[in-house]
Structure 1
Amino acid sequence: MERIFENTEIALELKSDEEISRSYFLFSLIKKEPLVKIGTAITKFALKTNMPVEKLIRTTVFDHFCGGINESDCLPIIKKMYAKKVYSVLDYSAEGKEEEVQFDYAVQKTLSTLEYAKDNEAIPFVVFKPTGFGRFEIYKKLSAGTSLSDREKIEWGEIRKRYIEVCDKAHSYNIPVLIDAEESWMQDAADTLVEEMMKRYNKDRVIVFNTLQAYRWDRLDYLKELLEKARHQKFKIGIKLVRGAYMEKERERALKYGYKDPICINKSATDKLFNDCLKYMMNNLGDIEFFLGTHNENSSYLLMELLKENGLDNNDKRVWYGQLYGMSDHISYNLSNTGYNVAKYLPFGPVKDVMPYLIRRAEENTSVVGQTSRELQIIKKEKERRKNLKNNTANFKNN
């Protein structure tokens, strides 16, 4: 298999020299875990006390990882990426909300992105988080098998209505919706609700996608059980496969409450489970469509090989690659350049509301071994390539 991810010219073609220098500076900071912890604490305090730091955040970490404060802000980036056949998934990334009015607003933002997607072929999916549509505590109680109060039952009914409203509109527009996964102790309730949406809307085509976090050792078993249900009840499955985003929190909670750690024993076990899930989905592509959310080069190459082995086109519409905006451009743009379906998650929202997402991004980059170093390596290589090109051009003119 050709090793395509070393081509930094294709990977970073859309970035100016100034943007590349800013990216290098940012990832150099993120690489230093103590700085991330200190910066996170200061940022939280500054925003909580309404200190005037939003402009600084906007011009550094926000602009690198986010498309803007609203959908219109994102349109120039969407257009720019689509010119290179990299699609966008608009992601309203406000996190940690607790009030009904905020959940209703998140629904309206998701419906708004559906309207944008309906008229823009560069936006093939929409996305939402389960806790964007309802309180974490409700999901947690249901996942634990704890009875809800009468008021909480009404709340759960409202959460379900929000899912239906978005999925119904997505179905009418024929635009798939990706539903994110969160912490394991709330996920069973979310899975149950997403499965209900799949049964309702995935009869003829895949509209609703659930998310599997492969750092959970039980996820391949869950996928196999889901496929059995789907075949029996005659619906199709949509899966977004990721490695996972809450590892430290998961391990700490399991230790605190004395239950079995839900996370794979180490990175190698997670990688194996991720690739096993990928192979399983490829083997059952008639019943499953999937979105491979990964920044891992080996897993990306594996999917390329599996498509080739199965005699499928690079751009088979049932299979997508996905990365986060601001990360792994060497994967995204080299894949799109070779004809694969690629989409970038493009977060947006008010700076203050999106900060929990950005903090999680920074913390993940420090905890994933090699991720930030690889980003720096790619940027450094491209800086060197451009420098040599300028020198060679200057020498040619002088001669």
Structure 2
Amino acid sequence: MTTDLIFDNTEIAFSLKSDSELERAYFLFKMISIEPLVRIGTVATNFAIKAHLPIEGLIRSTVFDHFCGGVNEEDCLSVIDKMYEKGVSSVLDYSVEGKENEKEFDSAKDKILKIIDFAKEINAIPIAVFKPTGFGRLSLYEKITKGDNLTVKEQSEWENVVNRFDAVCRKAKANDVAVLIDAEESWMQGAADSLVTQMMEKYNTEKPIVYNTLQMYRHDRLDFLKEEHKKAKIGKYFLGYKLVRGAYMEKENERAEEKGYKSPICKSKALTDENFNAGLRYILDNLDCMSVFAGTHNEDSSYLLLNLMKEKGLLNNDPRIWFGQLYGMSDHISFNLANKGYNVAKYIPFGPVKDVMPYLIRRAEENTSVAGQTGRELALLTKEKKRRKTL
């Protein structure tokens, strides 16, 4: 049983883009497709920001406005409203990275609590998200993952991390807003996983509110999913998972080689794809106690999920199944799915321009390294530009 091929409809995909926005998108992806240019641009941008050169206006009108919703929640509202008119929901992602002290962690927690309150009032925002390292130091998660003893000061620090997670998950349950907790580097993930499982046990008593993230480029994640399923059956709580392929591959492989351990990453892209698709199948076979947020820009995996839903006789808008893509990318998947009535959400990064730059640089580098991603975007944008010229 196959699903109709729906992702080639560029009229629907780019219905929110004006001609000038279409041209800007084409220009950006053309630039991103040139790897040396991305490397030079990254170095130049980092230098300009550190030297306090007046480049924020240029960044804001190009790469920032394409990949980000705004500098704060209110600034994102026009983007959120426009997309919701087309059936696409939003996940507001406070994309400020690399903070290191308790005051900044508390500030990040307060920002997420504010977003959850914001989401309660706006139907277009059914889901919130945060990164574990937004709430605590990477090295602290790493120490716990390794099983090292914590100092008295570190124990107190970890209690603060647990309390931040708890405050956010408690508020999410009270507001009936799902909260996705991102995955990060494998050497810190064990501590984050244990903490998220605690939160699921506590708050996923009627349905999934708290979602962990599984990076399926890790060859151990399918087994992890099955073990968590066993625990949930015994504990009688629900599981929510965001499935992604993963964004730290080079870093993971380099560290494994440097420290002499087996890399946690699948040996090939094909094995990663198999692992991701196996994760989708497993969750779809266990929807009685699981929900999935499929975070993917991959058309084949998206079609697989559509076919699995059809085979199981599920409604397009079954509340246990969401599709998700990043704002500024894969509009051909997001808007065509929403047009057919599926649950779709765009991750909308926001924050002060200079603070969001590490995120934007990673997006550019990721687009350069993912085979076919940028070429696909350019082909679709070209097709839509030609279509509009014939009108």
Q: TM-score category by the smaller chain?
A: over 0.9
Match of residue 365 from structure 1: 367
**Aligned equivalents of 2:194 and 2:54: distance in 1?**
43
SS at match of 2:190: helix
**Aligned equivalents of 1:251 and 1:359: distance in 2?**
20
Match of residue 355, structure 2, among 349, 353, 356 = 353
**Aligned equivalents of 1:290 and 1:300: distance in 2?**
13
Matched, 1:286 2:288: yes
Match of residue 55, structure 2, among 49, 53, 56 = 53
CA shift for structure 1 position 129? 0.3
Matched, 1:335 2:341: no
Matched, 1:130 2:137: no
CA shift for structure 1 position 248? 0.6
Flag structure 2 segments of 5+ consecutive residues without an equivalent: none
CA shift for structure 1 position 243? 0.5
CA shift for structure 1 position 74? 0.2
Identity of aligned residues (%): 62
**Aligned equivalents of 1:262 and 1:323: distance in 2?**
25
Amino acid across the alignment from 2:82: K
SS at match of 1:15: coil
**Aligned equivalents of 1:213 and 1:179: distance in 2?**
12
CA shift for structure 1 position 229? 0.4
Match of residue 269, structure 2, among 254, 264, 267 = 267
CA shift for structure 1 position 52? 1.1
**Aligned equivalents of 1:257 and 1:358: distance in 2?**
29
Q: CA RMSD in A?
A: 0.6
Amino acid across the alignment from 1:262: P
Match of residue 189, structure 2, among 182, 187, 190 = 187
Match of residue 107 from structure 2: 105
Match of residue 303, structure 2, among 301, 304, 307 = 301
Match of residue 395 from structure 1: none
Match of residue 20 from structure 2: 18
CA shift for structure 1 position 70? 0.1
Alpha-carbon displacement from aligned partner over 1:315-356 (angstroms, at most 9, x marks no partner)? 101000000000000000000001100000001000111111
Amino acid across the alignment from 1:334: N
Flag structure 1 segments of 5+ consecutive residues without an equivalent: 390-399
**Aligned equivalents of 1:351 and 1:104: distance in 2?**
21
SS at match of 1:345: strand
**Aligned equivalents of 1:92 and 1:138: distance in 2?**
22
Alpha-carbon displacement from aligned partner over 1:257-316 (angstroms, at most 9, x marks no partner)? 010011000100000000000000000011111100000000000010000000100110
SS at match of 1:209: strand
Match of residue 176 from structure 1: 178
CA shift for structure 1 position 144? 1.1
Match of residue 154 from structure 1: 156
Structure-2-length-normalised TM-score:
0.99
Amino acid across the alignment from 2:73: E
**Aligned equivalents of 1:294 and 1:4: distance in 2?**
16
**Aligned equivalents of 2:148 and 2:29: distance in 1?**
43
Match of residue 115 from structure 1: 117
Structure 1 residue ranges, 4+ long, deviating more than 2 angstroms after superposition: none
CA shift for structure 1 position 150? 1.1
CA shift for structure 1 position 4? 0.2
Matched, 1:320 2:322: yes
SS at match of 2:4: coil
Match of residue 387 from structure 1: 389
**Aligned equivalents of 1:100 and 1:155: distance in 2?**
8
Alpha-carbon displacement from aligned partner over 1:140-161 (angstroms, at most 9, x marks no partner)? 1111111111111111000000
**Aligned equivalents of 1:370 and 1:282: distance in 2?**
28
**Aligned equivalents of 2:103 and 2:51: distance in 1?**
23
**Aligned equivalents of 1:321 and 1:362: distance in 2?**
22
**Aligned equivalents of 2:252 and 2:65: distance in 1?**
29
Amino acid across the alignment from 1:210: N
